[in-house]
Structure 1
Amino acid sequence: MTVSVVLFTSDLRVQDHPPMRAALEGGGEVVPLFVRDPAVERAGFAAPNRLAFLADCLRDLDQTLRGLGGRLVVRSGEVVEEVSRVVRQADADEVHMAAGYTAFARAREAGLRRALEAEGCRLYVHEGVGGVVPPGDITPQGSGHFAVFTPYYKRWRAEPPRTPLSAPQKLRVPTGLRSEEVPGAAELSGVSPGLAPGGEREGRKQLRYWLSHHVESYEERHDDLAGDATSRLSAHLHFGTLSAREVVFRASRGGGPGAAAFIRQVCWRDFHQQVLAARPEAARQDYRSRDDHWRRGPEAEADLAAWREGRTGYPVVDAAMRQLAHEGWMHNRGRLIAASFLTKTLYVDWREGARHFLSLLVDGDVANNQLNWQWVAGTGTDSRPNRVLNPVLQGRRYDPHGAYVRRWVPELAGLGGAAIHEPWRLTGAERAAYDYPDPLIALPEGLARFRDARRLLPPDVFDAESTRVAPGDAAR
């Protein structure tokens, strides 16, 4: 009888899980394993919000597996050492896992392959578990990856869909394997108070709600900041409590322009994965250098601190940053506005913003986070790298009644009309009644500084009433 180990990473589910299906095909025993790797923390990926969400996911996965007659085995330590130890303890013949596409995931896979070969155990790496189309499956002629989204999307949509796999009916786990307790979210410090719960059951519940209530209106409402009409599936896609293939499959069955727009945005996840798989250095370096000399020094540090705290003096920017702090999540239009303000108006390095987002975002994914930041900063794949979003115009357009600002910037709750997006225009006595900072910089001054830094003529700078959707909106 064969014994197989299924190593869970960012695929914490039983529905549509190719590694689990392959492990069960032999008819033997299966060890569902998750390793809490200290290397993840050393690499800066283990933010409190993601650790709390992960704890929910692991407890939920364990409960589901117990309902199938099995359980989840949790270990702590270096992945290669712990997997090898479990292989020896269970006398396992093979290990199954999902493919990863970051430099970290590739190094982990290579180390596992070497170690397991020494143990006489085979490693099977399954593609397409974390996304819809694996990186490298579709490529442009003469290049290893697509650098422009639209042609990639056309090829991506032409790929034949795969029907999602059903969950297993039963599971047999070898006896005698030690497993650790998973800490609860309440035991972790630094967790955002409004963080949503994790786990496959929560993800499937959210998916059912989204498809039955909001997907049809997605095309019209995805940018409505106060309406909160995006899917909020991003954390579940990041941790793999939902299969991206199943999400697209189920959304496609509904049809309509809303579903099509939603699916297009899910495609951005795969687009960014294939960019990062081909150019892993883009997690740290400009994908396309603009020869930026980002602001440094005490003044830039003070501006960065005010941005982090949601005290820039621009209400829609501050609302977005405060939502991030409270929920560990931000509406995608808010992400676009906040990122543009930091990189284009304050002219602060995109890596500083990306680092702060990764410290809080429950859906903090290296490919999506870093490459979205580069898209906004103009160092990535955006075909209009010098667009600058005006936060006042963006607020008027996407929060026209100021409900989003009032929700997250309560000191301005008493303001009405145009003043909600331009409180500095109040008279002296009115202004004194609101404990809200003056703008860090006047918008024309910020625009002029950015134009000078990139040596642009005025027609080369695009403002901000752009209706273009920010990449990855469907997942947020």
Structure 2
Amino acid sequence: MSAAVAVFTRDLRVHDNPMLAAAARAGKVVPLFVVDEKISVPDGRARFLAESLADLDRSLRERGGALVVRSGDPVDQIRRVAEEVGAERVHIAADVSGYAQARESALRSALGRAVLHSHDDVHTIVPPGFLAPQGKDHFSVFTPYYRRWREVPWRRSLAPPEAIRLPAIDAGDLPQASGGGFPGGETAGRRRLGDWVAGPVRDYARRHDLLAEEGTSRLSAYLHFGCVSALEAARRAGDEAFVRQLAWRDFHHQVLAARPDAAYRDYRGRGDRWRDDEEALDAWRAGRTGIPIVDAGMRQLLAEGWMHNRARMITASFLTKTLYLDWRTGARHFLDHLLDADIANNNLNWQWVAGTGTDTRPNRVLNPLRQAERFDPDGDYVRRYVPELAGLAAPGIHRPWRSRTPGYPAPIVDLEEARRRFLTARR
């Protein structure tokens, strides 16, 4: 009987996983995860990953298999496992980062007799590169992309394999999870998806920008690690506003697939000469800028490893356009702390806000005070994460410097002066 290797990367699920389904059809299959020692994973994300791998292992064992774990260089370890079991095929989900593309290219060269099958329909709803305007390799503006995206027939959702036939091989040791917090894994992700589509999604369009409410799905970490299929989430949710957000995710993936350098280089250079102000950067990181809505968002990030999307936009605009500091410093901080730290979505959203990416209005500046009054009108979000201001009522809670609140810093920048500085620099 022939054997195959199913390489899990960030598609840690058995439901609707085209990579695993194809590998399981071959006969015997080795479900493999390689702990890449070149990648440093922050503690919160390492815990979420470990829980996700343990959950995947349980699902595979229920079907007669197990998750085989190796550590080291992924290309070398995959090649070794393929040779050990005499695999004729190696299956892996295609990914869009420069690192993932280089890894796949190296793996294709290193495998020898085994054939590499790269599946481009695992991480997104519409595969990167499937849609492109005439004469170009990708869409650079979301709205025309979305119009085409909505016209594409989606592939069918796949049931998990009924059985996993594992050849004789040492499974190795799963990474150990420590600490509590947001639970990782497909089981938790599917539970959260089920609760979301059972009712709350119907209010998504009305509530998703309200910072103090639980108006979003909180599925982002599960989507990043592939514990939940984006296709299945879109099919089950149905809500147009929510599905549009999943289309944004696909949009950023297709941009990065075509321009992997955009992870850290300006997609559209604006001639920025970013300021160098470590004191301001440290205040922003710590949530001590003196602007309550900004500080609340940054403290939520540090406390939970997650931040409301509206808060991400406000804090990113404040860093790049109010403080006029390089978007890469902010993107790096988010990558260091977010459970859902996805290169495509995180870094290209940072570029969108900074005006160096795909935004058609690159010089727009989000006024954090107006944003606070609109999306946290009662001040509940600020009170939750900035306890020094808990005794203040709205709208004064968003301008505490007027009441000289003890224990809370004065604003580190004058907002109107900073806005003029940014627009002058951009011109």
State the TM-score bracket (shorter-chain normalisation): over 0.9
Check whether the contact 2:48–2:177 (CA below 8 A) recurs between aligned residues: no
Paired AA for residue 179 in structure 1: G
What's 1:131 paired with?
Answer: 124
- Superposed CA RMSD in Å reads 1.1
> How far apart, CA to CA, are the structure 1 residues paired with 2:349 and 2:331?
9
Check whether the contact 1:7–1:97 (CA below 8 A) recurs between aligned residues: yes
Please show how residues 235-384 of structure 1 align to structure 2 within 5 Å: 235-252=221-238, 259-296=239-276, 300-384=277-361
Map Cα deviations across residues 38-78 of structure 1 (whole Å, 9 max, x no partner): 1223xxxx222221110010000001111111110011010
Paired AA for residue 145 in structure 1: H
Q: CA deviation at 1:181?
A: 3.0
Task: Tell me the TM-score normalised to structure 2 length.
Answer: 0.98
Please show how residues 34-73 of structure 1 align to structure 2 within 5 Å: 34-41=33-40, 46-73=41-68
Which blocks of at least 5 consecutive residues in structure 1 are unaligned?
187-192, 253-258, 456-476
Structure 1 residue 85 corresponds to structure 2 residue 84: no
Q: CA deviation at 1:322?
A: 0.3
Map Cα deviations across residues 265-309 of structure 1 (whole Å, 9 max, x no partner): 11011101111111111111111111111001xxx1100000000
What's 1:97 paired with?
Answer: 92
> How far apart, CA to CA, are the structure 2 residues paired with 1:230 and 1:92?
43
What's 2:421 paired with?
Answer: 449
Check whether the contact 1:90–1:177 (CA below 8 A) recurs between aligned residues: no
> How far apart, CA to CA, are the structure 2 residues paired with 1:228 and 1:393?
21
Check whether the contact 1:89–1:177 (CA below 8 A) recurs between aligned residues: no
Paired AA for residue 229 in structure 2: S
The aligned length equals: 427
What's 2:23 paired with?
Answer: 23
> How far apart, CA to CA, are the structure 2 residues paired with 1:307 and 1:130?
32
> How far apart, CA to CA, are the structure 2 residues paired with 1:176 and 1:454?
59
Paired AA for residue 235 in structure 1: A
Paired AA for residue 382 in structure 2: V
Structure 1 residue 440 corresponds to structure 2 residue 412: yes
Q: CA deviation at 1:178?
A: 4.0
> How far apart, CA to CA, are the structure 2 residues paired with 1:178 and 1:384?
52
Q: CA deviation at 1:326?
A: 0.6
Paired AA for residue 435 in structure 1: G
> How far apart, CA to CA, are the structure 1 residues paired with 2:304 and 2:182?
7
Check whether the contact 1:273–1:367 (CA below 8 A) recurs between aligned residues: yes
Map Cα deviations across residues 404-443 of structure 1 (whole Å, 9 max, x no partner): 00000011001013211000111xxxx25x3100000111
Which blocks of at least 5 consecutive residues in structure 2 are unaligned?
none
Map Cα deviations across residues 221-243 of structure 1 (whole Å, 9 max, x no partner): 11010002111111111000011
> How far apart, CA to CA, are the structure 2 residues paired with 1:29 and 1:138?
35
Q: Which runs of 4+ in 1 moved over 4 A?
A: none
